[in-house]
A and B are shown apart, each in its own frame.
Chain A
């Protein structure tokens, strides 16, 4: 079953003297042999075969999920902005999706979709929808009425007002939603290995079975954290670039 690896990964406190990493052909470095808290040489040996592929897959899984989620949420938010009745059912459905525990959702998807990238992405996308939908809609609704009145009074069509006025002004709220979504999804992608054996969840899971050798756990977990912080920072930078007016104040 999909949950089997988790159970097998129960904590094992091995004797500190036993090396966790097999010392084939006596190639291990001393920090590997002594299970030092963090072993730099292990990281450099395993970057190519283990950590980088996991990081790359992690980025792809998270980006695709947020990307697809953004497109769906944007469409739903635009519909709700135009037709108010869309909001209630959309909020209801996305909230329910958001509240399903991730492991349960993986299990639910495993039967109809299979243990593959599709079920992984479907699950991840479903967790972005509530956050993105709410933020995009809030952004669109935050545009001051007098600004819309002026746009209308000067002869902008609905589409022109949307593209030239509403979406730019909704940008801070939209980016705020994207930041929460990307950080959430990067964290959540670490449990995707349960149904799809990719991403930083794989080395993290492996590390759970390595007892006193903590390097892999620290490296893979650390990468997930750094990735989340980097993605968040990147979005902040993009927002600053796209919203020069937000920084312009009297002075």
Chain B
């Protein structure tokens, strides 16, 4: 099918496309309202990254997303997808190039899984065989057995399966950009975590540019390569990596929004495998020493929690085969927090943010 045009792409050849998204001084004003719904929004999402839009209700997250595929007309500024203004595009053509996932999923109840996923390829007039092959490929990608699932109707799927079909449908025509509006918002917490993990695994393969809307800061930290925190009136409070936002919140609003436990949240971003663990120091760290064992993939936050319930004793970190990698101690946590705090603050070019000063809502 399509040719891979990025060297780092390890996934199937059909998932080669991703495009940079740039918002330039975007604003949205509704007739008869004094305050703009979106102030003066500028940020860039590099190709292949997940940008999470997060903020309280009324901050214009969904509006911003819908400005991108022109489901809501823009009032000012410009939006560039792959360097090309979306305003010059035919809205229907543009939307067929942008994957679209919403919280209620919106699968067509009268169409089978197969027909649902085939929606955009059919709109684009792909030949039958190509559509069929693509549906098969996508079902495998989302871990649904094509033979078993193809002919089912949405009513015959579980909530999680429906959500995955919704994602597959959005990916069908290999769009360079995906818009996801609270895609896991209506799923119970356990399945939600699983779907989040699945999506992150999927994103590893397809490497799309993703704009992901949520009101849940924990989900934002987990899913985002970058997070855009919006405040009321659609003003960008901070645009940065999750680690930077947790370490150096731009202002009180951001600090309050990410929560008082932002130190703990930061710990959740790091896995034990990324730490320089303490050498076992001659001790034979096997089952006989009584120390609690944790897998090396455990997050520092979870490890800390385990350690606290084990009276603060050091934990033995083991790899997949049960071999001892080292010891995890309270000192390592202190060290990690100190390192983060010492890291350079945002705005040094590492993030392509144009974070607005938090207090001002600019007139359009």
Contacts and interface: CB of A to CB of B under 8 A. Distances in A.
B69 interface: yes
B69 A153 contact: yes
Given A155-B93, A250-B155, A150 B110 contact: no
Contacts of B104: 144, 146, 149
B107 interface: yes
Contacts of B152: 248
B123 A147 contact: no
Interface string A240-251: 000111001111
A168 B94 CA distance: 26
Contacts of A18: none
Interface string B79-122: 00000000000011111100010111111111100000001100
Interface in A227-251: 243-245, 248-251
B151 to A, nearest CB: 9
Given A155-B92, A155-B93, A245-B155, A150 B123 contact: no
B120 to A, nearest CB: 5
A142 to B, nearest CB: 11
Contact of A165 (B100, B108, B170): B108
Contact of A155 (B96, B103, B110): B96
B155 A146 contact: no
B106 A249 contact: no
Contacts of B119: 154, 156
Contact of A150 (B69, B106, B153): B106
A249 B154 CA distance: 9
Contacts of B155: 245, 248-250
Contacts of B110: 165, 168-169, 243, 245
Interface string B125-167: 0000000000000000000000000001101111000000000
Q: Is the interface of A mostly helix, strand, loop or mixed?
A: helix
Contacts of B95: 152-155
Contact of B123 (A149, A152, A160): A160
Contact of B107 (A150, A248, A251): A150
Most A CB atoms within 10 A — which of B93, B96, B106, B110? Answer: B110
Nearest to B157: A250
A150 B102 contact: yes
Nearest to B120: A154
18 contacts: A146-B106, A147-B107, A149-B104, A149-B106, A150-B100, A150-B106, A150-B107, A150-B108, A151-B106, A153-B69, A155-B95, A156-B92, A156-B119, A156-B123, A165-B108, A245-B110, A250-B155, A250-B157
Given A147-B106, A150-B106, A250-B156, 15 more contacts: A146-B102, A147-B108, A150-B107, A153-B106, A154-B120, A154-B170, A155-B92, A155-B93, A155-B95, A155-B120, A157-B92, A165-B110, A168-B110, A245-B110, A245-B111
Closest 6 CB pairs of A and B: A150-B106, A155-B95, A146-B104, A153-B100, A155-B96, A248-B153
